[in-house]
Each structure stands twice: as C-alpha cells, then as structure tokens.
C-alpha cells in the first residue's frame, strides 16, 4: 500500500476509497507490461491521469506520450491524424504528413473517447494492435510501428458492439486489461478531502483565505449526485471561493451554488424525425400491411375455434378452451342447452384494432363470418373475405375523416394521425374531392 500512496502523492490523486485503490493497484501492475489497457469510467473521473501513471511506470517512460480525443477529431480527418497521409491524397493535402502512430513510435498513445471512433478507423486500429502495421492515407506502403495503446471510454462499448457501432474484435482486443475508475458517487468519503484540496490550491494561487464548510454544508456536498464527478467538484470549489462573501459556508450558501439534481438512470425514449420525402408514407404502409395480416390471422383463428365448438360443444368445458380470452368472447354470445350450442346471434364478436399515431387505422374491424343456420344444425357457412388492398382502405378512411369533419382538412389530418401536407398529397394522388 505504500507504493500506492507514493503514486497518489506523485500524481496528485486524493482519496482512500477501496474502489480507487483497487484501480490504482491494477494500473501499477499492468504498467510494467506492454498489454493494451481499456480505462472505463464516467466523464470527469480522471481517466487520463491513469494513462499517465501507466506510461510513467512503464519501460517507455522516456519515450513520447500523446493523448488523442477521438471524439474531437472530425471523421474525415481522423485517419490522417492517426496514420498520416501522402501529398495529394485528398483536398488540402499539400504535403506528406506523419501520423501519431508514426511520431510516437516506441512510446504510448492514449485514445480517449474510443467509442466515438468511426468504424473504418477501428479496422485500421485493429491491424496496428495485432501486427504493428499501418498504411498512410493515399499510400500503398506498409509501415511498422511499436506503440502501446491505452484507450478510455465513458460509454458501454459492449452495448455498442451489439448495435454495430463498435467492432467486437476490437473491443476484445482493447479490453485485455480493463481498469474501472469509480465515480465520485461511489467514493463519497473522498469528497470533503477533494473539496478541501481544491479550495486550498485556489487560495494559494490568488493569495486569499480558503473557505470552510460547516457540518450541514459538508453533508449536502457528500450527498450531491455529482454527475460531472471530480471535474464538477473542482469547478464548484473554485466558484464558491470566488463568489462567496462568507468564508464559513453553511447549507443555505452551498445550496445557492449547488442546487440538488436528481439523477435518473432510466432509459430515455427517443423518436427519430421523419423526412418529408415520402418515408412517412412508407412507414404507414408497413404498419398497415402488418396490421391487416395480423387481423386476418386472428379472424381465421377465431373462426376455427368457433367451428370446433359447433361440431363438438362438449369441448367448451375443457379448461384449455374455456380459459382462452378469445373463446370467452365467443362464449358470451351463445347459450348452451342440452349439450348443444344455440346461437343467440349470427354475428361473431368483432376484434377491435388500435389506432397508430402515424397511420390511418382507427377501430377498423374485420368483416364478420356469416353463419347460415338450417333446421338440422349448422351444416355450411359462407366466408366473406375482407379486402386487403392498401389503397382502397386509405381512400375509405380519408373519405370518412373528411365527411366526419365536414371537409376540414386540418381536423381530418389530425384525426387520421398524419400531417396536413400528407393528407393534401393523398387527396391529389387518389383524386378525392372533398
């Protein structure tokens, strides 16, 4: 543990939380190797400090170290920045240029926000990690490099691999040794120490008296969620040192600088905007097709069960049938007397369909199956097929909506769940006179 404490003193790391000490211990152990390291942690926890610790304790400590923020480099130039380019390889390439993997040969490169790296660049990086080879943009010459890669991210790269935003092979290649840096919420006992360090550093820099926290203010500081972690804590400490008129900070004063924020980890539902080039109509068509096929399937299943009951009324007593919601709906319209089903109506209960916000369907029901009874029971039936023509359905629904709202297109479009512009286009397309 003495080695860990000396590392803290050397790099200005404050805190004694168990999770922090474990992360430092892993960094010290892996520093003497050339293994690739993936540092994982929220924004503002100090991931770059861990990369510097690893480089400073490695055999490459006298060679170059460079930190690259992958999210800050435009997608069109990141290949050139990392691997270099030849003269004339793209517009603006007036001279040949070496990339970071060439200039840092023998040293360490820290790739921050690795999750923001484009997929094409990920393929190039994977080749460097596996073979130590790279090719400049616009060149065909393979070059060699000896660079240790330390990557960092505040995102879940495994989730990115599941949705195709990050290469799975690169993920496993980078995470040879993962180091998880704890957030400030997970090391609350370190918050007063960090705050004190920041206000003392500020007072020494500007020759002022450092502020003090009373017990209530200290408890408020500890229980604050700190979404920005150490970076946010440092900013708040400097803000209080500058703007506070009192050197003894109570809870009222600290609440003025640090209002409580409720941090929610619930997933957010987002809606991608639709373009006006007809994609909204394409989505409507897909929804309607699926809806109509599902309706047809439900009606056929209902008809099959109903006919089975007519042929053998005794099966209605079986739990596998009586417990089914669709059977119960049929059962409401029939009375059983003497072991035979006597129809109280020749109309099978309709199945209502929900309305979709971006489609036309609203409480549309399939056409019924008409049963023709005879004296000796039900011997035949006639099925009236419903139409599945998408255009006919749209014409019918648009006409009904216009009639319902007395020709007011805006109200009709709202009722249909489409834009007024889309409604106007469909009126012209289907030659509907409102």
Residues 6 and 135 in one domain: yes
Residues 177 and 305 in one domain: no
- The chain-wide mean pLDDT, for the chain, equals 80
Q: Which pTM value belongs to this model?
A: 0.59
Residues 176 and 192 in one domain: no
What H or E segment, with its residue span, contains residue 304? helix 279-311
DSSP lists the bridge partners of residue 37 as 150, 177
Local structure of residue 115 (DSSP, 8 states): G
Whichever domain contains 14, its CATH number is 3.40.50.300
| Total domains in the fold of the chain | 4
Residues 172 and 189 in one domain: no
Q: Which two tokens stand for residue 287?
A: 């929804």
Residues 155 and 234 in one domain: no
Lowest mean pLDDT segment, chosen from 121-125, 208-212, 241-245, 393-397: 393-397
Residues 314 and 357 in one domain: yes
91 contacts 46 by C-beta, under 8 angstroms: no
Task: State pLDDT tens for residues 18-71.
Answer: 999 999 999 999 999 999 999 999 999 999 999 999 999 999 999 999 999 999
Residue 85 belongs to domain spanning: 2-182
Residues 237 and 355 in one domain: no
Residues 86 and 6 in one domain: yes
- Give percent of the chain with pLDDT exceeding 90: 47
Residue 273 has pLDDT above 70, yes or no: no
Asked whether residue 87 is assigned to any structural domain, the reply reads: yes
Task: State pLDDT tens for residues 353-377.
Answer: 444 444 444 444 445 544 445 545 5
Asked whether residue 263 is assigned to any structural domain, the reply reads: no
129 contacts 173 by C-beta, under 8 angstroms: yes
Asked whether residue 321 is assigned to any structural domain, the reply reads: yes
Q: Show which of 182, 205, 222 is a domain's final residue.
A: 182
Residues 160 and 200 in one domain: no
Whichever domain contains 402, its CATH number is 1.10.10
Asked whether residue 402 is assigned to any structural domain, the reply reads: yes
Closest to 335 (Cα-Cα) out of 312, 313, 351: 313
Task: State pLDDT tens for residues 293-339.
Answer: 778 777 887 777 777 777 776 665 555 554 554 444 444 444 444 44
Residues 219 and 157 in one domain: no
Residues 22 and 114 in one domain: yes
Task: State pLDDT tens for residues 155-171.
Answer: 999 999 999 999 999 99
């Amino acid at each position: 543990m003495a080695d860990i404490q000396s590392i803290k003193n050397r790099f200005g790391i404050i805190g004694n939380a168990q999770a922090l000490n474990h992360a430092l211990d892993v960094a010290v152990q892996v520093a003497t190797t050339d293994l690739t390291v993936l540092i994982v942690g929220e924004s503002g926890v100090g991931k770059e400090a861990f990369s510097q610790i690893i480089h400073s304790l490695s055999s490459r400590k006298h060679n170059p170290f460079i930190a690259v923020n992958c999210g800050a480099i435009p997608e069109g130039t990141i290949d050139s920045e990392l691997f270099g380019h030849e003269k004339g390889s793209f517009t603006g390439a007036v001279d040949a240029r070496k990339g970071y993997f060439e200039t840092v040969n023998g040293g360490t490169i820290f790739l921050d926000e690795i999750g923001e790296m484009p997929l094409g660049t990920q393929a190039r990086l994977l080749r460097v990690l596996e073979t130590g080879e790279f090719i400049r943009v616009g060149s065909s010459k393979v070059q060699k490099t000896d660079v240790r890669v330390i990557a960092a991210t505040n995102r879940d790269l495994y989730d990115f691999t599941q949705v195709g935003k990050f290469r799975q092979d690169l993920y496993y290649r980078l995470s040879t040794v993962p180091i998880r840096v704890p957030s400030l919420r997970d090391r609350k006992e370190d918050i007063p120490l960090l705050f004190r360090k920041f206000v003392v550093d500020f007072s020494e820099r500007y020759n002022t008296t450092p502020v003090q926290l009373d017990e209530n203010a200290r408890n408020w500081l500890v229980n604050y969620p700190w979404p920005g972690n150490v970076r946010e804590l440092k900013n708040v400490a400097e803000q209080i040192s500058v703007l506070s008129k009192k050197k003894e900070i109570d809870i009222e004063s600290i609440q003025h600088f640090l209002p409580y924020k409720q941090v929610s980890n619930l997933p957010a539902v987002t809606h991608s905007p639709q373009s006006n080039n007809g994609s909204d109509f394409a989505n409507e068509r897909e929804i309607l097709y699926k809806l109509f096929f599902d309706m047809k399937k439900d009606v056929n299943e209902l008809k099959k069960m109903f006919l089975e009951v007519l042929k053998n009324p005794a099966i209605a007593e079986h739990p596998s049938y009586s417990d089914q919601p669709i059977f119960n709906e049929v059962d409401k319209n029939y009375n059983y007397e003497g072991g035979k089903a006597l129809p109280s109506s020749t109309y099978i209960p309709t199945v209502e369909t929900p309305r979709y916000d971006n489609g036309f369907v609203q409480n549309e029901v399939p056409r019924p199956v008409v049963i023709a009874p005879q004296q000796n029971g039900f011997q035949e039936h006639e099925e009236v097929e419903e139409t599945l023509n998408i255009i006919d359905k749209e014409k019918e629904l648009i006409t009904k909506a216009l009639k319902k709202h007395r020709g007011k297109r805006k109200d009709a479009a709202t009722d249909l769940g489409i834009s007024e512009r889309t409604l106007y286009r469909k009126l012209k397309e289907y030659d509907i006179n409102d």
